[in-house]
Amino acid sequence: MGLGQTLCACLKGLNVIALRKACAVLMVVLVQILRSHWSLRRLSLGGGAEDVEKPNDVTGPVSSSEPGQSESAAVSSGGPVAAPVSEADEPAEAAAGGAVSPPDQCDEELVLRPLRSGDIYASFQFRTQWDTDFLHHGKKVSHYRLFPKSLGQVLSKFSVRELHISFTQGYWRTMQWGQPFIPSPPGAELWVWFHNTVEDVDGNWKELVNVLSGIFCASLNFIDSTNTVQPSASFKPLGLGNVTDHRFLRYATLPREIVCTENLTPWKKLLPCGSKAGLAVLLKSEKLFHSSFHSQAVHIRPVCKDWQCTSTAWELRQTLNVVFDIYTSGQGKKEWSLFKMFSRTLTEACPLASSSKVYVDVTDNPEGELFDLSPVTPLLSTAVVLGDRRTYSVYDLTKKETFGQLRSLNLVLRWKGESGDMLRPLLHAERYVAGFGLQTGEIHTLIYNNHPYRAFPVLLLDSVPWYLRLYIHTLTVTSKTRENKPSYIHYQPSKDRLRPHLLEMLVQLPPHSVTEVTVQFERALLKWTEYTPDPNHGFYVGSSVISALVPSVVAMDTNSTQERPLFSSFFPTKEESSYFVRVYTEPLLVNLPTPDFSMPYNVICLTCTVVAVGYGSFYNLLTRTFQVEEPSQSLAKRLANVIRRIRGVPLL
């Protein structure tokens, strides 16, 4: 029997599924053999073990831009000029023909702040810095190690200079919880600075929101010209270059966006260690979304690496803030631990992170009279946060002694007694809708300055949809029952179904005062196709944005490159006597004139009834055949015929 006949006989005894499985197993074995052979060959040629264990293979050499191009790009962006890198400074591996990845590093932090209400505020900060530039023409970055490739390609393709996006479920209660480290409004918020070489900003913005919608599994594709504005003063770049043309800025919000697990999963995949190691193991969706407040954000910006800004880097900062309530958590008592909050404990730091720390705010508990914290750590750190000097207990996860003999860190916080009221924040704001009926109304914005003797200016931004037609001549600003004339007003009227209203004002807040901003509006009547599936629920109006430099109690550090905790170094500080604060008000829920959408159902029912009765009768008259029927016989005659039929006599 020949080889072909033998092979045919073997194949007849196997079905197609078994043959496919055998081929798959054979391919896997072949790939493993090739990988082992390639690794041994690289080691034999002199390559170290580090070359074999690189997380990503380099697909091609990284093309470098000319020094002149680097200087011109830095000058046009308004930031300091970075020193060009000469060819002599390049590593020897690049001269040998291998692609070299720019140096990058990542840090992770968790801050736990016990609140006076008995709740606890947990803030995660993950920072990745990469010494590269996506904006230089002719420079193609092909090797990604810690920085996510999906975001790097977005920065390069759309010439993004800064990107800030947040997804928030719930409203931050400033009067009960104080100021957050990084604020965010309810729903989704996105604001982007494009590079000044972009010609079609609106086109790049439209494509960018669709790409980000796919990356974060969100409804950002609903962002269009009807909810996008160009602020002139409220949103300045947080990275290099503080003076930029606002034509390259776009800002939009979706106050009705619902945050769920499908948004958290892609956010965790952007982390260097994912959710497998480090602080990210605590990010369990079942616990995070069972809270009073949840917010996740991604911030990308160029930053300086030293005080002289001789070198720059791209910074990716991922933040997640959550507030656990004693009532929603089902505990009913003021006792917290990592396991109760996240259903997990910490066992190791992220292997790729250069620093991994946990901070617990013990400023209000100097002698341990308010709560007990265990295990006790001898490491204490002080930092200036939001204009106040705070003290923190530090747990360094890169040290083995932090985990103890059980090789697990479970922080436990037990309250001893009732906690007092939290100090009122210096700046607070709220907003509501007044009026009656469905024709006109009035928007009231209240801004509180709780400083006893200092006055300071604030910048108010309002973006109102086009279907609320503002009467700008009714705008009034009052402080302590007196008129407070704004020193700067920028107003852009809306266009029906094209763009929203944009109102920016610079208002001086007197000390210990409440400033009220009111404006009247008229509700528009929408087309029946423009209503939402639940029109009687109402239409959401995004939060007002209030930006201010609030007087600081202690001197602020103006050196942004100095080594300090991540939660205290997000907003750049230009003056020692003040710090930057951004406050968001509540979103508004406005009812519009809504037609009775049950009328089409009634009309359809009535029309079908008329058609069935009228047309049915007419159709029967046209198609029915008529026959003449003989008159029926009487009952006596029919009985007689029955008897005659039985007797065999002819019928009557």
What pLDDT score does 312 carry?
83
Ordered domains of the chain (ranges, CATH)? 125-323 (no CATH), 341-423 (no CATH), 427-590 (2.60.40.1170)
The residues facing 124 across adjacent strands are 110, 320
What is the reported pLDDT for 283?
93
Tell me phi and psi for residue 358, to 5 degrees: -120, 125
The contacts of residue 527 (CB under 8 Å, 6+ apart) are none
Sheet order of strands, 501-509 included: 488-492, 501-509, 456-464, 545-551, 578-584
Q: Is 106 helix (H, G, I), strand (E, B) or coil?
A: strand
The string of pLDDT tens digits covering residues 356-366 is 999 999 988 87
Residues of the chain with pLDDT under 70: 1-102, 134-140, 142, 241-243, 326-333, 417-422, 557, 559-562
Whether the Cβ atoms of residue 413 and residue 351 lie closer than 8 Å to each other: no
Torsion of CA 392, 398, 402, 408, to 10 degrees: 110
Q: How far apart are CA 415 and CA 334, in angstroms?
A: 6
Residue 93: per-residue pLDDT: 37
Ramachandran bin of 609, using left for φ above 0, alpha for ψ from -120 to 50, beta for the remaining angles: alpha
Supply angle C-alpha 117, 120, 121, rounded to 5. 120
Per the structure block, which two tokens stand in for 488? 């700067």
Q: What is the pLDDT of residue 143?
A: 76
Residue of 65, 107, 570, 560 lying closest to 304 (CA atoms): 560
Burial (CB count within 10 angstroms: exposed 0-12, middle 13-18, buried 19+), residue 548: buried
Residue 52: per-residue pLDDT: 33
Name the residue among 300, 340, 345 with its Cα closest to residue 134.
300
- At 370 the pLDDT is 81
Distance set, CA 227 to CA 32, 164, 182, 492 (Å): 53, 17, 23, 13
pLDDT tens digit sequence for 575-630: 778 899 999 999 999 999 988 888 888 889 999 999 899 888 888 888 888 777 77
Helix (H, G, I), strand (E, B) or coil at 434: strand
**What is the DSSP track for 110-131?**
EEEEE-TTS-EEEEEEEEEEE-
- Sheet-wide strand order for 440-449: 427-434, 440-449, 513-523, 468-479, 482-483
Contacts of 632 (CB under 8 A, 6+ apart): none
DSSP run (H or E) holding 396 = strand 388-396
Within 409-563, strands assigned E span: 412-415, 427-434, 440-449, 456-464, 468-479, 482-483, 488-492, 501-509, 513-523, 539-541, 545-551
